Structure formats: structure tokens, C-alpha cells
């Protein structure tokens, strides 16, 4: 403790208060006595259920495609990966509305690709649960690849070297050696991607619309409840905040490793 001077201590206090106070205030506004009935209202429960299963599906897809992507980014030709990386990480810092515009530009009925899908099949992605999942994959995958690429880069080299000497194929190098070694990083990335997909709001409301049970997700329910029923909005928000704190707490060691090495 003595290593920290008063100046840094003061500014750090301000910084933590800026973050901690609103969260405390949020919990202070929760109608604890009616919490359970508010969370089990049809609208709330539908939104929670929809959010949980769509975010889990999105996470599955993030892992399925994102882990190989992280492998390519870690082991591929830097001249190629250095160009690809900024694009696949962009959604981390992209405003949600811009993400929504991008998804519409591609998959809307008049979108670059959506136009042809609609002409040929009569189906379009906006206003479907698929759109909710797609938005989740779009915003979640970058978090997964960010962590997993870093994990792949810092795996102990000896086993991979030994395998290469034994002429293991690139395929089994990935499946038999890198993947098991990277399982902690993959789990961390998956949890971050899940949390991001669960909390996704802006891109989803623009791209998927809002219909109870079909596309109206948990964060969206909060947004609509504010106009009508503030207490339920607080109840739904507080559970979301608890989840977020829980996620970061459970990942405290992994996160420190992922960003220090």
C-alpha cells in the first residue's frame, strides 16, 4: 500500500466511484419485495428466456468459427493477418447502431446479399430470431478471437515443436495439441462472447426489431419497460448487472493472464 502516492490514490478513488456508485444506485432502486413477481411477468420471463437461448446459440457459433479464426490469426502469414485482424476486432469498438447499419446493409431486404436471398427464397433475416443470433455472433466473435488468439500465441512451444518433428499433420497439431492446451483461453473467450451477446441491444433493435418472444431480448425489455414500468426495468437491470459482475469475477485470473502475457 505504501507504494501508492496520494495523487494516484485520489484519482483512482474518483475512477472507481464513477463506476461503482451507479451500480450501487441501481441495486438501491430494485423493488426487492416484488422482485420475483416482476421477473416472472410474462414479458420479463419471455425476454429473459429468449436472451438466454439466443446468446448461448450465438456463443456456440462464435466458438465454432471463432476458434479457427483465432488459430489463423495466430499462425497465419502476418502480411495477411495484419490486414484481417483490425476488421474482425472492429465490432469491439464499433457503436451498436453502426453494427446495426452494417448488418442491414448486408442482410436487409435491400442488402448486398439479403436482396438475392429475398428474391430467391422470399425470406429475409430482419425481424427474425436468426437476426438476434446473427447480431450476437457479430458482436461476440471479436471478444472470443481476441482472447483465444493471445492464448494460441503464448502456448508452450515444446509440445508443438516435438509434434512437428514427429511429422504430425497441421490438422492434428491443432486438434491434438493446441486445442487442449488452449481450453482455458477458449472458455474465457466464450464466456466474454456470451456476456457480450447477452447484453447486445443497439444492433439487435435495428436489425431484428422488437417482438415479444421472437426478438424482444432482455436488454430491449429494459428499454421498453422504462416508458411504462420503471420498477420492472430496475429489476431486470439489476439481475443483468449481477450477471456481469459475476462473469468478470469468475474470470478474474484468466482475464489478468489474457492481457498480461
The contact set with another protein (CB under 8 A) reads 104, 108-110, 122, 124, 126-128, 205, 208-212, 214-216, 223-224, 226-228, 230
Query: Among residues 197 and 205, whose Cβ is nearest to another protein?
Result: 205
Helices (H), 175-217: 179-181, 183-199, 202-207
Question: Closest separation between CB of residue 105 and another protein, Å?
Answer: 10
Instruction: Name every residue whose Cβ is closer than 8 Å to that of residue 127 and which is 6 or more positions away in sequence.
Output: 208, 209, 211, 214, 215
Shortest Cβ 220–another protein spacing (Å): 9
**Distance (Å, rounded) from C-alpha 241 to C-alpha 235?**
10
Radius of gyration of the chain (CA): 21
Neighbours of 29 (CB within 10 A): 13
* Residue 70 and residue 149 in contact, taking contact as beta carbons nearer than 8 Å: yes
Q: Calculate the alpha carbon distances from 189 to 3, 16, 71, 72 in Å.
A: 33, 25, 13, 16
Sign of CA dihedral 114, 120, 125, 130: negative
Which CB atom, from 62 or from 104, has the smaller least distance to another protein?
A: 104
Nearer to another protein, 76 or 209 (CB): 209
- d(CA 131, CA 116) in angstroms, rounded, equals 17
Nearer to another protein by Cβ, of 15 and 105: the residue is: 105
Least gap, CB of 119 to another protein (angstroms): 8
Q: Nearest Cα to 259, choosing from 159, 143, 111?
A: 143
- Nearest distance, CB of residue 65 and another protein, angstroms: 26
Nearer to another protein, 108 or 136 (CB): 108
SS3 content of the chain, % helix, strand, coil (to 5): 80, 0, 20
Cell 457459433 -> residue: 61
> Which residue, 210 or 239, is less far from another protein as judged by CB?
210
Q: Name the residue nearer to another protein (CB basis): 76 or 212.
A: 212
Closest approach of another protein to the CB of residue 166, in Å: 51
Give the position of cell 472458455: 187
What three-state secondary structure class fits 44? helix
Shortest distance (Å) from residue 109 CB to another protein = 5
Q: How far is the CB of 108 from another protein (least distance, A)?
A: 6
Least CB distance to another protein at residue 241 (A): 19
Of the pair 50, 104, the CB lying nearest another protein is at 104
Amino acid at each position: 500500500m505504501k507504494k501508492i502516492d496520494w495523487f494516484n490514490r485520489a484519482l483512482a478513488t474518483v475512477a472507481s466511484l464513477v463506476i461503482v456508485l451507479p451500480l450501487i444506485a441501481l441495486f438501491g432502486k430494485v423493488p426487492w419485495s416484488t422482485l420475483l413477481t416482476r421477473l416472472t411477468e410474462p414479458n420479463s420471463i419471455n425476454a429473459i428466456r429468449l436472451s438466454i437461448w439466443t446468446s448461448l446459440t450465438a456463443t456456440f457459433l462464435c466458438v465454432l468459427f471463432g476458434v479457427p479464426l483465432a488459430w489463423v490469426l495466430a499462425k497465419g502469414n502476418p502480411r495477411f493477418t495484419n490486414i484481417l485482424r483490425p476488421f474482425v476486432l472492429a465490432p469491439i469498438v464499433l457503436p451498436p447502431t453502426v453494427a446495426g447499419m452494417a448488418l442491414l446493409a448486408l442482410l436487409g431486404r435491400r442488402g448486398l446479399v439479403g436482396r438475392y436471398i429475398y428474391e430467391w427464397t422470399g425470406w429475409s433475416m430482419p425481424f427474425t430470431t436468426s437476426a438476434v443470433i446473427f447480431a450476437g455472433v457479430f458482436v461476440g466473435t471479436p471478444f472470443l478471437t481476441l482472447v483465444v488468439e493471445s492464448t494460441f500465441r503464448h502456448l508452450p512451444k515444446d509440445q508443438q515443436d516435438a509434434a512437428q518433428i514427429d511429422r504430425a499433420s497441421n490438422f492434428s497439431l491443432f486438434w491434438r495439441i493446441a486445442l487442449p492446451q488452449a481450453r482455458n483461453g477458449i472458455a474465457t473467450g466464450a464466456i466474454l462472447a456470451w456476456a457480450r451477446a447477452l447484453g447486445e441491444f443497439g444492433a439487435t433493435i435495428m436489425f431484428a426489431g422488437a417482438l415479444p418472444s421472437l426478438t424482444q431480448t432482455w436488454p430491449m425489455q429494459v428499454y421498453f419497460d422504462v416508458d411504462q414500468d420503471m420498477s420492472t426495468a430496475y429489476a431486470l437491470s439489476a439481475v443483468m448487472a449481477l450477471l456481469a459482475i459475476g462473469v468478470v469475477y469468475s474470470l478474474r485470473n484468466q482475464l489478468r493472464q489474457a492481457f498480461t502475457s
